[in-house]
Amino acid sequence: MGLFDNAVPGGNIAKPLLIALGALLVGKMLSGKSANQTEQDQSPAPAPSETTTTADGGLAGGLGGLLDKLKNAGHGNTADSWVGTGQNQPINANDLGNALGPQIIREIAQRSGMSEQDVLNQLSAALPGIVDKLTPNGQVPPQHQVASAFNS
């Protein structure tokens, strides 16, 4: 995948984790379908909630939305360390789950085929490196640049 090489422990991203990251950050399931096809193919239609995807962001509102959720949950210093150019601070799986909320975790688990606990464990390990790779200059890029990282 290029951009994400060495971004996660072990050096590679398994497809279920990639699906989870895509759902979280860009609203795609990374199955070759466009975001519109993905939304149309869901059945039953999801109830209106904060977990529905949008064309310009994932379940958490894209990278900026994810960082805002972490900051609002009291993990601003951790999130800032991922964006900044210094050492990435880790995040506990339970803290990540509390920041994102149970609905988002449940939907990511359903999309990826992983258990909710596996989603939290893998995302908590992968997100610091992924966010770091997506923000090489210490700045959050526009959403279209985040989306293009998942299409490469």
Inform me whether the pLDDT recorded for 36 exceeds 50: no
Inform me whether the pLDDT recorded for 29 exceeds 80: no
Sign of dihedral through CA atoms 62, 115, 52, 96?
negative
pLDDT number for residue 46: 41
Half-sphere exposure of 118 (CA within 13 A, CB side): 13
Q: Are the C-beta atoms of 64 and 72 separated by less than 8 Å?
A: no
More confident residue, 50 or 111: 111
More confident residue, 115 or 1: 115
More confident residue, 47 or 90: 90
Residue 91 pLDDT class (50, 70, 90 cuts): very high
In this prediction, residues 34-42 reach a mean pLDDT of 37
Domain locations along the chain = 15-151
CATH of segment(s) 15-151: 1.10.10.690
3-state secondary structure of 57: strand
Structure pTM?
A: 0.74
